[in-house]
Chains A and B, each alone.
Chain A
C-alpha cells in the first residue's frame, strides 16, 4: 500500500540557522536516499513557503483566488514523501526516520483504494 508522509514544521524553527536545524536539513536528503535504496520511496517533494502559494476556488462558475493558504497556525505544510509500505505501522516506522520529524510533525495518510466504497460521513 502507498502512504503519504506530510511534513509540517514551523519555518522559524527549521530555518533559524542553528547548527541543530542545519544538521537535520543536511540529513533529510540522505534519508530520502536510504528510502530509495530500500525500495520504499515513491516520491519525495519539498514545497516552497506558503507566501509563494495562491489558493484557487471556483464558486458559481467563477474563479476566485487568494494569496497563500488560510493558515492561522505556525506550522506549515513543508513537503511530502510518498512511500510504499506493507501496512500503516511500517509507514509510521519509515516516517519516524524522517529527520524533520525531530523538528516538526509528520502526518501519515494512506492513499485510498478506489475499489472500496467512499467514506460515508
Chain B
C-alpha cells in the first residue's frame, strides 16, 4: 500500500525560518484540514460536529499559535482541541435534546483514554478510507454519495461541486444536508465494510475517486487549469482501493488516471495556456506512468469482468500508444466508445464518440454526429459540446455559425484557461 498520507507540514514548518505564523497556519490548513476532519469524524461520529470541530480547532490555532508557536505535531494538536471543544459544547447543551447526540456516542467519544495512540499513520489511512465508505454508503442516493465525498473527504466547497456537476448550488447543498440527515437518522455505522460487503460498495467509491481526479485534472474554476493536489489525492486513493480490493474496475480506474496523468506536463504551455492533443509533445509524455498503466490494463483485461473504467483506460491507452495524432487508431477508439456507450450510456460518452468520428472521417461527418448527440439532449449547458461543434464549423469555414457556437461555449465555461482558449479561437475567426 502506498502511504496515502505524506507529511508535508513538518517539512514546511521546519523550512520556514521567518515566523510568519499566518502563512504557516494557511499551509497547515491546506495540508491537514482534511485529515483532521477524517479523524474527528471517527471520534465524534457526526459529519456536522466534525466540521464544527475543525473550524473551532483552526480558530483556536489562529489565536494561540502566534504566541505559543507551532506545536510539534499540528495534526494531533488540532484533533485534540477540536474534540475537546465539541465534547465541551455537548456537555453544555446536553439538556437541549436537539443539540446533543445520543448519550451512547457521547460516552464513547469521551471514553477514548489516550488520544495520541489513535493518531498514528495506520489509523490515518483507515480514517480516510472509513470516511470514504461512509460518504459512499449504499443507503444514500448515488449523486448524494458523490457530493458528500467531494465535500467531506476532498474538501471541495458546495459551490465548486455544483460547478463540477453543472447543477445549481442549492440543489447540491440540499443533497448534502439530506445525506447527512440520513446517515444520522439511520445510525449508519462509521466502519470500513467487511470483505463480503466490499464489492457492492466499491463501485460508487470508484465513481467518486474518478470525479475527484477529474476535478483536479480539469478544474472547473480558478485561474489554473490543473489542481495537482486533487489529482494526487485521487491517485493515492485509487492505489489504496486497488491494494485493498484487487477489484478489476479499481485497477482499470487507476490505469485510466495514470494515463491522463502521463500527459499532464504537456497539456498546458509555459504561459499556462491549453495545448491540444494534436499539438502536444508526445516525447514528453510520462513513459513510467504509461507503462504502469499498460501493466495494470493487461491485468484487468485478463479478467472477464470489463466495466466502464477499464474501457476508458483502454481508449486512453490507444492514444498513449500512437506516435502522432494522425497515426491514432481511431476505428479502435470508436469501437471502444461503442462498447462503453452500451455499458454506461451518457451524453458525454456519445459526444466523445462523435469527436473521434470527426477525427477519422472529417469535419462534415463529425458535425453531423455532434449535432445528433446534442439533439438528443442533456448537453445544452455543457461548454465542451458547443466548443466541439464550433471547432467543426470553423474547420468547415462556416465562420458565422462557428462564432455563435464559440459565444455559446464562452457563456457556459467556468475555468479561466479554457475561457482564454475559446476567446483566442473566437478572435482568430475574424
Contacts and interface: CB of A to CB of B under 8 A. Distances in A.
Given A39-B59, A88-B169, A110-B169, A93 B51 contact: yes
Interface string A42-55: 00000000000000
A90 interface: yes
B159 A87 contact: yes
A60 to B, nearest CB: 34
B56 A89 contact: no
Contacts of B203: none
Given A1-B159, A110-B169, A89 B55 contact: no
Nearest to B63: A39
Nearest to A113: B159
Interface stretch (B170-178, B194-202, B297-305, B352-360): B170-178
A40 B52 CA distance: 11
B151 interface: yes
B59 A86 contact: no
A38 B59 CA distance: 7
Contacts of B177: 89, 92
A100 to B, nearest CB: 14
A30 to B, nearest CB: 11
Contacts of B172: 88
Contacts of B160: 87
Nearest to B176: A89
B331 interface: no
B324 interface: no
Interface centre among B151, B158, B411 (most CB of A within 10 A): B158
Interface residues of B, number: 18
Contacts of B332: none
Interface string A81-112: 00000111110110000000000000000100
B279 interface: no
A110 B158 CA distance: 12
Given A92-B173, A110-B169, A86 B157 contact: yes
Contacts of A40: 55
Nearest to A87: B157
B26 interface: no
Interface centre among A38, A88, A93 (most CB of B within 10 A): A88
Contacts of A86: 157
Interface in B232-280: none
Q: How large is the interface on A (under 10, 10 to 19, 20 to 34, 35 or more residues)?
A: 10 to 19
A93 B48 contact: yes
Q: Dominant SS at the B interface?
A: helix
A106 to B, nearest CB: 13
Nearest to B85: A38
Interface centre among A1, A87, A120 (most CB of B within 10 A): A87
B59 A89 contact: no
A89 B178 CA distance: 11
Given A1-B159, A93-B48, A93-B51, A88 B173 contact: yes
A87 to B, nearest CB: 3
Contacts of A120: 411
A89 B170 contact: no
Contacts of B159: 1, 87-88
Given A38-B59, A39-B59, A89 B52 contact: no
Contacts of B151: 87, 89
A88 B56 CA distance: 18
B51 A90 contact: yes
Nearest to B175: A89
A39 B159 CA distance: 21
A47 to B, nearest CB: 24
Contacts of A93: 48, 51-52
B48 A88 contact: no
Contacts of B169: 88, 110
Interface of A: 1, 38-40, 86-90, 92-93, 110, 120
Given A38-B59, A89-B173, 12 more contacts: A1-B157, A38-B56, A86-B157, A87-B151, A87-B158, A88-B158, A88-B159, A88-B170, A88-B172, A89-B176, A90-B55, A93-B52
Interface of B: 48, 51-52, 55-56, 59, 151, 157-160, 169-170, 172-173, 176-177, 411
7 contacts: A1-B159, A86-B157, A87-B158, A88-B158, A88-B172, A89-B177, A110-B169
Closest 3 pairs between A and B when the two form their complex, measured CB to CB: A87-B157, A87-B158, A88-B158
